[in-house]
Structure 1
Amino acid sequence: MAQFVDWDLAAATAGALSKTGPAVSLEEATQVVAELRALTEEAAGHVAAYTGLTSQVEVPPVRVVDRRDWAKVNIAGLQRVIGPLVSRIAGDSPPGPLADAIGSRVTGVQAGTILAYLSGRVLGQYEVFSGEPGQLLLNAPNIVEVERKIGADSRDFRLWVCLHEVTHRTQFTAVPWMRGYFLGEVQAFVDASQGGEHILERLRRGVATLSEAVRDPESRASVLDIVQTPAQSAVLDRLTALMTLLEGHAEFVMDGVGPEVIPSVDSIRAKFNRRRESGNPLEKAIRRLLGIEVKMRQYAEGRKFVHGVVDRVGMTGFNRVFESPLTLPRLEELGDPDAYVARVHH
């Protein structure tokens, strides 16, 4: 069958469109990489002590990347998870007509455009698609650029970012079933579609919508067009609840640990929140279409939920959330910690 995405072209497009990072000397770049690696280790100790969670698997060392490398890693991960899904949807049909090949090249350019945009904004990520158990990435140019823009103390800001991202790594390595559950829900979303060819076309349209938004902030299309069935909506609710929990937990941990180890944490949080909330029309349009506006709400809602549960049952009690998929919060419980505690701690 023809490829859904021309991944080589996606990588080439992302590389060509990625913005250059902030001006740094070779000596400074080397120092940034070394410090981020050291701060990752320091953050791991703080996160384990604060949460009571420890990795149950061997954890690969952090990978400090630039913008192009970040895009390459994510393209490899997407290729690994999307390829088998597309094969299952479309079946083992013979290679399609020339139009399919052209379509994969168009989608490749569009995917590369989106990843180039994101590569200039993501500070860190726990990438779970590329292999077990996942890989912690820190995007050094973006971290340096943001700390300069908000006038933060560089070591304080870097440790603050590491606390957040190491918490995500801990969530996936201290909870053995988490990665499989997440990938299973992605699979369930595809399985819940009505007809393979139809969802492939909708996925293509979703990629095109995002790519168009990167180029044209006036676009009013929505990637929610990809969601087509009640079953898919149910899966999306579970994924939204999961991501809200994980983001809120990371925010709760970084703010809980921060005052003890980061002298300027209050200033950093205030400046960073102002930066999150601001943005030119292009930024706001992209955030809406990529779901980043939803993600920003997830940070606040998730942090409030975690805080509410910890207040009621303590950190050890909260950690029951990671016992099994059945103890994860439901979407409607995120705004009602009492209801969650009543269900899980009855």
Structure 2
Amino acid sequence: MSKTPFGFGPPDPDKRGDGDPSDPSEQPSGAEAFNQLGQMLSQLGQMLSQAGTSSGPVNYDLAKQIALQNLSGRDDAKVGFTTSGSEDSSSAVRDAAHLAELWLDAATILPAGATSTVSWSARTWVEKTLPTWQRLCDPVAQQMSGAWMQALPEEAKQAAGPLLSMMGQMGGMAFGSQLGNALAQLAQEVLTSTEVGLPLGPSATSALLPTNIEKFTEGLELPSSEVLVFLAAREAAHQRLFTHLPWLRQRLLATVEEFARGITVDTSALESLAGQIDPANPASIEEAMSSGLLEPQTTPEQQAALKRLETLLALVEGWVDVVVAEAIGDRLPGAEALRETLRRRRATGGPAEQTFATLVGLELRPRRMRAASSLWKLIGDRHGLEKRDDLWSHPDLMPTAEDLDEPLDFAERLATPTTLPADLDPIAELERTERDSKNKPASTDTSPTTGGDTDEDKGDKGTGSGNTDPS
């Protein structure tokens, strides 16, 4: 991994204290130190009260506040996305989505997944996607912020008492500040609600950001209407997957959580970390936490989780790439140029990849996405779109990372009819349950006695006083 997880990037030189905490000449003493500590605690109390009441490893109230404040200068609602016959950006987005859905119907067996298509501003994107970001960020931040506290001896925890709680709140504020700035930056660049590759927005809602799309269109030498329809088709294709395949949304988010749960920290760095914290300098807490001393150790289990996540994201993006290309065909003259532009956007580390890499240490490699696209195209050409899309019906039918390396072998295996094992196939499980129910002997007990004996049982027992020995 080339990226450290969320909340633990390199320190910001602009946030360093004015003095060197390790220099004794810079340390206050006596009454001066006491006064500084009192001022620090007073300022800290004000900061905590102003940051909201959010609890947990990340202060999401602060994150939202910072993100919206950074976006306060943008008035997206008044920026129209004009196309012929459209009065404003909202109607243009709806028209583009309607056209895209019609074209997609002929390119996939998955029905339309979005029940509504909306136009979002950058601020709306922050508000609508924050709940999902919370699910993604919480496990990573929880493990990282709690690792060093858990490593402290019990005596030290009891002695620290309120200080640990205070530092936990400070850590939540530090994470919240970093997340808020990252979301503000991302909100000004993302084009749709699914560009990150994850279902960030509300279920069954397609969302496009017209202001960002207009900025993206500049310099492409393509009609803005074509760009809008192309991106609407990609958003609609993503929604067909995420809406009709409940396992996909759950598995994507659960794999991130699985990675986070395995985070471990080298606790031998605690002593060095403690030496960096200056009670008179609140910024030293955030600086020490981001110094890299608590950089997580990657385990084999985490590597396996990242590989599965990378593969699944690549399969999603590759399928969308192929289906949208087939749906649009020659209808948009600039479609192929747009397709390659978006691929390069991925290859150069666009905002989606950078944010996700910072979050979980994962980079979605374009090589995997291109390999997945080639695999889906091969399957569709050889076996038809119905068999291609049927692979999404169960996660155990999906191509693996090895299949991306050997697409021809996977395509050939599909020529042989296969079925899921009975313990994995929900239909087979239902049929087996019904069969077992039919074969189960029905009770013939009609006796009013409390013993519940059948006629056969009574014959065995005879008419005596319960002696079961026939002799």
TM-score by length of 1: 0.76
Say if 2:368 and 2:404, in contact at 8 Å, map to a contact too. no
Aligned mate of 2:69, from 16, 23, 37? 16
Q: Provide runs of 4+ in structure 1 moved above 6 Å.
A: 84-90, 282-285
Say if 2:263 and 2:296, in contact at 8 Å, map to a contact too. no
Where do 5+ consecutive residues of structure 2 fail to align?
1-53, 151-160, 271-291, 417-471
Relative to structure 1, is the Cα distance of residues 238 and 2 closer, same or farther in structure 2, using a 3 angstrom cutoff? Answer: same
Where do 5+ consecutive residues of structure 1 fail to align?
202-220
Relative to structure 1, is the Cα distance of residues 26 and 234 closer, same or farther in structure 2, using a 3 angstrom cutoff? Answer: closer
1:128-163 C-alpha deviation (Å, 9 max, x unpaired): 3566x3533212211111112323201111001111
Relative to structure 1, is the Cα distance of residues 165 and 297 closer, same or farther in structure 2, using a 3 angstrom cutoff? Answer: farther
Relative to structure 1, is the Cα distance of residues 28 and 49 closer, same or farther in structure 2, using a 3 angstrom cutoff? Answer: closer
Say if 1:251 and 1:299, in contact at 8 Å, map to a contact too. no
1:283-306 C-alpha deviation (Å, 9 max, x unpaired): 899589557963543432221121
Relative to structure 1, is the Cα distance of residues 159 and 232 closer, same or farther in structure 2, using a 3 angstrom cutoff? Answer: same
1:77 paired with 2:132, answer yes
How far 1:79 sits from its partner (Å)? 2.2
How far 1:107 sits from its partner (Å)? 0.6
Which residue of 1 is the match for residue 394 of structure 2? Answer: 324
How far 1:274 sits from its partner (Å)? 5.7
Give the number of equivalent residue pairs. Answer: 315
- State the one-letter code of the partner of 2:130: I
Which residue of 2 is the match for residue 173 of structure 1? Answer: 243
1:61 paired with 2:108, answer no
Q: Judge which range, 301-310 or 282-291, deviates more.
A: 282-291
Relative to structure 1, is the Cα distance of residues 273 and 328 closer, same or farther in structure 2, using a 3 angstrom cutoff? Answer: closer
SS at match of 2:207: strand
Say if 2:343 and 2:366, in contact at 8 Å, map to a contact too. no
- State the one-letter code of the partner of 1:14: A
Which residue of 2 is the match for residue 102 of structure 1? Answer: 170
SS at match of 2:116: coil
1:37 paired with 2:94, answer yes
Aligned mate of 1:123, from 187, 191, 200? 191
Aligned mate of 1:49, from 106, 127, 132? 106
How far 1:194 sits from its partner (Å)? 5.2
- Taking the TM superposition and a 5 Å limit, the aligned residue runs for 1:1-346 are 2-18=55-71, 28=81, 31-55=88-112, 59-80=114-135, 82-83=137-138, 97-126=165-194, 128=199, 133-193=203-263, 228-269=298-339, 286=354, 289-290=357-358, 294-346=364-416
1:13-51 C-alpha deviation (Å, 9 max, x unpaired): 222334966999656576122111221122122212211
Say if 1:36 and 1:158, in contact at 8 Å, map to a contact too. yes
- State the one-letter code of the partner of 2:109: G
Say if 2:191 and 2:209, in contact at 8 Å, map to a contact too. yes
SS at match of 1:263: coil
Q: 2:330 & 2:138 partners in 1: Cα distance?
A: 45
> Over alpha carbons, which structure has the higher Rg?
2
RMSD: 3.9
How far 1:323 sits from its partner (Å)? 2.0
Q: 1:107 & 1:284 partners in 2: Cα distance?
A: 19
Relative to structure 1, is the Cα distance of residues 292 and 115 closer, same or farther in structure 2, using a 3 angstrom cutoff? Answer: farther
Q: 1:233 & 1:295 partners in 2: Cα distance?
A: 15
Say if 1:305 and 1:335, in contact at 8 Å, map to a contact too. no
How far 1:186 sits from its partner (Å)? 3.0
TM-score by length of 2: 0.57
SS at match of 1:163: helix
How far 1:183 sits from its partner (Å)? 3.0
How far 1:102 sits from its partner (Å)? 0.6
Q: 2:375 & 2:221 partners in 1: Cα distance?
A: 31
SS at match of 1:149: coil
Say if 1:10 and 1:75, in contact at 8 Å, map to a contact too. no
Q: 2:411 & 2:338 partners in 1: Cα distance?
A: 32
